[in-house]
């Protein structure tokens, strides 16, 4: 199956699940407080529905516009902008007739369900898969800066050991990139000297200049022959795929990044490579090109081989059901905290992070291009947290806007007028449309530029 089709299917599966559960978060407390729900819709039904059926007092349906979903609660100014209903005297079953604390619970239901869902997914993943990661402190040779211009911007060099980001030790090397993106300072160990570096405020903008190079940090790897092209001058030299190059001439080589400056010394000359082949050392005569290469492609070792060679350590944490609960909660809280940090960067124009804001294409691209249930559920949990936080923002037309006005009412004892709520809802709606156009416009721009 086409990778784009697979991503699209996963996107709609995830989106549908999240929307239905979010709206159930409003629907259930509304029913508990005997508030009438007129509609329960997956996607928007502008002009017509793909499916609808009335059960009791509620019409359940699927709209044609996949921009979200909604529940229409009687006596509430919402996306429907039903002014006619609001001009009638309040009925006992309407939202506006209920005590403010009940209305607050109804409005908070959606974001609460989204966050709880994410935590449940993380608990399930901790129990089913555990955690497998590379401990940052296991990189004996430090990090490999694969993009030197980005490393120079950050002030990191190959061989540096990352001690902390914002004063906090980062245990998992896989999460180091995101911590740096969200952080303000980095602590490194350079040949035993502890150095503090401020992360440039526009560092994200530097990364976005070429998104193919954003993963600029890697564990230092050995120089393993992955392939020898037919066009290589050394195709008949005796080099073999999976040979590990451990010496060039009289110089020893442990890491791939060390080979380039050594090869420069021998460019345009013949020399001898020392290779490790199945635990034996072999001497292979080769020709070094004028561009200081030997005409092979880089290969890779398995994690077991890398661990055996002392390049890194792979750690696996298994959780019992009881242990997976706090692990899942911690993961949910840390994911939310990380997203809030990213959002702060986006709202600061100096960072340039707004250039990375994406719409539906960007969200769809978060899913793997092959069927991988662990990746699917991990992405779904992340999007659920994003939806929870975005919906609680104090913007009219979002749940957070309604919550903001309800809190005002509870504190002041005065309810905003229906006319004010109507204008606020319209303002919030236009803000959301503008954000939607900007985010998806960014997707289109990136696609054109590429």
- Helix, strand, or coil (residue 90): coil
Is 176 a residue whose pLDDT tops 80?
Answer: yes
CB atoms within 10 A of CB 404: 19
**What per-residue confidence (pLDDT) applies to 80?**
53
Is 110 a residue whose pLDDT tops 60?
Answer: yes
Percent of the chain with pLDDT over 90: 38
pTM over 0.75: yes
Q: Tokens 């791939």 label which residue?
A: 256
pLDDT in tens, 192-228: 899 999 998 888 877 777 666 677 888 999 999 999 9
User: What are the structure tokens assigned to 175, written together?
Assistant: 């999460």
Q: How many CA atoms lie within 13 A of 213 on its CB side?
A: 14
- Among 31-35, 67-71, 257-261, 333-337, the range of highest mean pLDDT: 31-35
Please provide the DSSP assignment of 361-422 as one string.
HHHHTTS-SS--HHHHHHHHHHHHHHHHHHHHSS-TTSHHHHHHHHHHHHHHS-PPPHHHHH
CB atoms within 10 A of CB 334: 12
- Helix, strand, or coil (residue 98): coil
Assess contact for 286 and 234: CB atoms under 8 A.
Answer: yes
Is 396 a residue whose pLDDT tops 90?
Answer: no
Q: Where are the alpha helices (DSSP H) in 130-161?
A: 148-154
Q: Show contacts of 251-256: CB within 8 Å, 24+ apart.
A: 253/223, 254/141, 254/222, 255/141, 255/144, 255/220, 255/221, 255/222, 255/223, 256/144, 256/220, 256/221, 256/222, 256/223, 256/224, 256/298
pLDDT in tens, 7-20: 888 988 998 999 99
pLDDT in tens, 57-69: 999 999 988 878 8
Q: If pLDDT is split at 50, 70 and 90, which confidence band does 447 have?
A: low
Q: If pLDDT is split at 50, 70 and 90, which confidence band does 320 have?
A: very high
pLDDT in tens, 124-153: 999 999 988 889 989 988 999 988 888 888
């Amino acid at each position: 199956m086409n990778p784009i089709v697979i991503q699209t299917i996963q996107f709609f599966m995830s989106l549908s699940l999240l929307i239905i559960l979010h709206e159930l978060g409003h629907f259930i407390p509304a029913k508990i407080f005997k508030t009438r729900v007129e509609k329960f819709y997956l996607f928007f039904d502008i002009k017509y529905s793909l499916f609808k059926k009335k059960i009791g007092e509620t019409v359940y349906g699927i709209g044609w516009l996949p921009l979200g979903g909604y529940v229409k609660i009687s006596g509430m100014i919402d996306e429907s902008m039903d002014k006619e209903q609001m001009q009638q005297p309040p009925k006992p079953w309407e939202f506006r007739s209920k005590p403010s604390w009940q209305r607050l619970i109804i409005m908070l239901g959606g974001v609460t369900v989204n966050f709880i869902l994410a935590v449940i997914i993380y608990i399930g993943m901790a129990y089913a898969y555990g955690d497998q990661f590379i401990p940052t402190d296991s990189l004996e040779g430090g990090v490999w800066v694969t993009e030197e211009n980005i490393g120079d911007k950050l002030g990191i060099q190959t061989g540096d050991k990352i001690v902390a980001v914002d004063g906090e030790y980062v245990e998992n090397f896989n999460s180091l990139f995101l911590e740096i993106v969200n952080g303000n300072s980095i602590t490194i160990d350079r040949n035993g000297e502890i150095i503090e570096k401020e992360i440039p405020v526009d560092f994200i903008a530097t990364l976005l200049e070429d998104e193919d190079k954003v993963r600029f940090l890697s564990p230092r790897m050995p120089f393993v022959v992955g392939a020898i092209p037919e066009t290589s001058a050394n195709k008949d030299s005796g080099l073999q795929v999976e040979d590990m190059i451990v010496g060039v001439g009289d110089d020893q080589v442990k890491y791939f990044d060390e080979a380039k400056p050594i090869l420069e010394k021998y460019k345009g000359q013949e020399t001898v490579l020392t290779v490790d082949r199945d635990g034996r050392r072999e001497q292979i005569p080769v020709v070094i090109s004028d561009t200081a290469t030997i005409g092979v492609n880089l290969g890779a070792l398995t994690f077991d081989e890398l661990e055996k060679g002392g390049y890194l350590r792979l750690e696996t944490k298994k959780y019992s059901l009881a242990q997976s609960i706090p692990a899942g909660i911690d993961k949910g809280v840390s994911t939310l905290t990380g997203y809030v940090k990213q959002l702060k960067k986006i709202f600061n124009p100096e960072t340039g992070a707004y250039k990375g804001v994406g719409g539906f294409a960007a969200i769809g691209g978060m899913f793997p291009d092959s069927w991988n249930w662990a990746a699917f559920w991990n992405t779904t949990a992340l999007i659920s947290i994003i939806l929870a936080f975005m919906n609680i923002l104090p913007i009219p037309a979002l749940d957070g806007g309604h919550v903001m006005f309800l809190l005002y009412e509870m504190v002041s004892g005065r309810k905003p007028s229906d006319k004010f709520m109507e204008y606020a809802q319209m303002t919030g709606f236009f803000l959301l449309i503008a954000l939607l156009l900007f985010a998806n416009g960014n997707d289109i721009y990136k696609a054109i530029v590429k």
